[in-house]
């Protein structure tokens, strides 16, 4: 690094045949950057690679290739490998197998893959990858360093559109001038949104929200102080005793991560149905779980499966618990609240910044649930992200009173960064007492015991979702095996 450049971080990413260095730094103007460099491809090799690439593209109509599944994708790659190998032998007649594999990997990635975006997809430290136009470098959101400008540029708007079209084809979606907006996902599960110019006036865009390869667990949340032990113990007890929970927060605040975390508290002898637009939840393998996903209509407008379709269908699947990615519409909410009234536990997310806004969103259009029905919810848990630091917090925990009014029991003190107890969750105590006959004093002692169990989880760094699931299974069954 030169001049007033300040290094912030550096690490390596291992691709299939390439070794990539990542350097994160702040420039003399205070802007943060994310640079990639492929260490095992020399400048001379890059020049010859460009020649091969140009010849490869001129000989094969890559833009017309249609990929309908992972199997088809692999078959097409194998076909192109044969074509590329002929060109490599022409320009690199003495290349050994290691070099040949490296060159094939690079050419496949650049010509029928997503180019250098595939390197970003391999970086587990990234949450978002954003292409705003060909005029700007690709931007990324780093878990530790926030938004960073990369040294990756897409050469032209046509290439961005090609990437979007290719992503859509893989999952049966399309993006055209008549349909310039697309929500899709990669075969890896990463969520993708794409827009075409002139809807996005500065150029074509692609936004990728990465699917976490390691699902968040309660151990992670406690270690990162996203939530404190007392709030976690209360939520654990509420989930065990089938109390429904709404998780609120803004975009990127950790709502789905919290949904994933609390799902591990569900006892293993109960049937769980999850409903999402794109699969993000991962439950412990020991839980009896059936994941369902919505589906957009095909180009002829047929075959759509909506969130409402899945909510209604889930009630015919004898669920004990229903997990819903996000409540957006009146009909979905009506069915969910009816499910709560008929004895099903429901866990869902909602876009709202605090408890008050949560109630307002639920009781006003477009959701418009009658306020008296809100008493079916046991807890509201609010998530928030500090945009300056990127740190996520649980900021409020509220119990719902019988008339549908919320009552905050725990709140984050912004000056100390600590969650403080505002009042005892007596309504939750009443519900648990109705299930168990425990007095308030017994419930308080049980909460204290669970705080100790959660501390044991953290002290022993048990943070794999399946290991955490095994821990809760042993707790519920009294097993030591």
Average the pLDDT over 123-148 and give the result: 95
Which residues are within 8 A (CB) of 30 and not within 5 positions of it... i.e. 6 or more apart? Answer: none
**What is the structure's pLDDT at 44?**
67
Pair 69, 126 in one domain: no
**85-99, 344-358, 464-478, range with the lowest pLDDT:** 85-99
Pair 79, 102 in one domain: yes
Pair 198, 230 in one domain: no
Pair 268, 299 in one domain: yes
List the CATH number of the domain containing 288.
Answer: 3.40.50.300
Report the number of distinct structural domains present in the chain. Answer: 3
Q: How far apart are CA 257 and CA 289, in angstroms?
A: 17
Residue 198 in this model has a pLDDT that exceeds 80: yes
Pair 56, 132 in one domain: no
Give, for 274, the enclosing helix (H) or strand (E).
strand 271-276
Indicate the pTM of the whole model. Answer: 0.81
The rounded mean pLDDT for the chain is 89
Q: How confident is the model at residue 469 (pLDDT cuts 50, 70, 90)?
A: very high
Whether residue 116 has a cis bond before it, omega within 30° of 0: no
Residue 66 in this model has a pLDDT that exceeds 80: no
Biggest distance spanned by C-alpha atoms of the chain? 82
**117-131, 162-176, 214-228, range with the lowest pLDDT:** 162-176
Pair 7, 132 in one domain: yes
Q: How far apart are CA 207 and CA 181, in angstroms?
A: 12
Residue 289 in this model has a pLDDT that exceeds 70: yes
Q: How far apart are CA 136 and CA 154, in angstroms?
A: 8
Which residues are within 8 A (CB) of 334 and not within 5 positions of it... i.e. 6 or more apart? Answer: 369
Residue 363 in this model has a pLDDT that exceeds 80: yes
Pair 313, 459 in one domain: yes
Domain boundary among 191, 211, 231: 211
Pair 195, 85 in one domain: no
Residue 53 in this model has a pLDDT that exceeds 90: no
Average the pLDDT over 428-447 and give the result: 94
**What is the structure's pLDDT at 481?**
45
Q: How confident is the model at residue 158 (pLDDT cuts 50, 70, 90)?
A: very high
Residue 470 in this model has a pLDDT that exceeds 80: yes
Pair 424, 318 in one domain: yes
**What is the structure's pLDDT at 71?**
53
**What is the structure's pLDDT at 356?**
97
The number of angstroms, rounded, from the C-alpha of 210 to the middle of its chain's C-alpha atoms is 6
Q: How confident is the model at residue 450 (pLDDT cuts 50, 70, 90)?
A: very high
Average the pLDDT over 317-324 and give the result: 95
Phi, psi of 175 (to 5 degrees): -135, 125
Q: Which two tokens stand for residue 221?
A: 């949340």
Strands (E), 401-460: 406-413, 418-421
Pair 85, 27 in one domain: no
Pair 175, 47 in one domain: no
Pair 270, 361 in one domain: yes
**What is the structure's pLDDT at 435?**
86
77 lies in which domain range?
Answer: 41-113
Q: Taking each helix axis as running N to C, give the angle between helix 307-314 and helix 330-341, from 0 to 180 degrees, rounded to the nearest 10.
A: 10
Domain boundary among 113, 132, 154: 113
pLDDT (tens digit per residue) in 379-394:
999 999 987 777 899 9
List the CATH number of the domain containing 134.
Answer: 3.30.450.370
Domain boundary among 187, 211, 235: 211
């Amino acid at each position: 690094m030169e001049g007033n450049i300040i290094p912030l971080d550096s690490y390596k990413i291992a691709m299939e045949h390439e070794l990539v260095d990542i350097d994160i730094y702040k420039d003399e103007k205070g802007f943060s950057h994310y640079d990639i460099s492929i260490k095992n491809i020399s400048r001379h090799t890059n020049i010859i690679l460009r020649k091969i690439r140009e010849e490869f593209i001129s000989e094969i109509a890559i833009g017309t290739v249609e990929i309908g599944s992972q199997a088809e994708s692999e078959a097409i790659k194998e076909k192109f490998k044969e074509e590329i190998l002929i060109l490599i032998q022409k320009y690199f007649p003495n290349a050994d197998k290691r070099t040949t594999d490296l060159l094939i990997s690079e050419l496949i990635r650049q010509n029928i893959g997503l180019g250098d975006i595939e390197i970003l997809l391999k970086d587990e430290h990234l949450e978002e990858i954003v292409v705003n136009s060909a005029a700007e470098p690709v931007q990324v959101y780093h878990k530790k360093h926030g938004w960073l400008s990369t040294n990756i540029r897409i050469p032209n708007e046509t290439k961005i559109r090609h990437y979007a079209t290719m992503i859509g084809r893989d999952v049966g979606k399309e993006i055209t001038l008549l349909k310039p907006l697309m929500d899709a996902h990669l075969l890896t599960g990463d969520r993708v949104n794409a827009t075409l110019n002139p809807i996005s006036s500065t150029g074509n865009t692609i936004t990728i929200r990465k699917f976490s390869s390691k699902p968040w667990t309660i151990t992670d949340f406690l270690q990162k102080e996203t939530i404190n032990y007392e709030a976690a113990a209360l939520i654990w007890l509420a989930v065990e005793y089938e109390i429904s929970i709404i998780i609120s927060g803004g975009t990127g605040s950790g709502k789905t991560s919290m949904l994933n975390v609390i799902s591990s508290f569900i006892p293993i002898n109960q049937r769980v149905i999850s409903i999402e637009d794109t699969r993000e939840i991962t439950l412990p393998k020991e839980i009896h779980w059936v994941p369902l996903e919505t589906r957009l209509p095909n180009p002829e407008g047929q075959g759509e499966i909506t969130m409402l379709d899945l909510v209604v269908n889930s009630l015919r699947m004898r669920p004990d618990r229903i997990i819903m990615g996000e409540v957006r519409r009146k009909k979905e909410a009506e069915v969910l609240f009816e499910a709560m009234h008929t004895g099903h536990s429901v866990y869902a997310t909602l876009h709202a910044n605090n408890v008050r806004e949560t109630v307002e969103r639920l009781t006003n259009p477009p959701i418009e649930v009658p306020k008296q029905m809100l008493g079916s919810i046991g807890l509201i848990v609010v998530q928030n992200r500090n945009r300056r630091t990127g740190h996520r917090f649980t900021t409020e925990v509220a119990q719902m009173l019988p008339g549908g009014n919320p009552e905050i029991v725990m709140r984050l003190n912004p000056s100390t960064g600590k969650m403080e107890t505002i009042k005892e969750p007596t309504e939750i105590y009443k519900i648990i007492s109705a299930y168990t006959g425990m007095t308030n004093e017994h419930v308080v002692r049980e909460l204290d015991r669970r705080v100790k169990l959660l501390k044991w989880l953290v002290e022993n760094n048990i943070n794999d979702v399946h290991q955490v699931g095994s821990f809760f299974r042993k707790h519920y069954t009294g097993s030591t095996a």
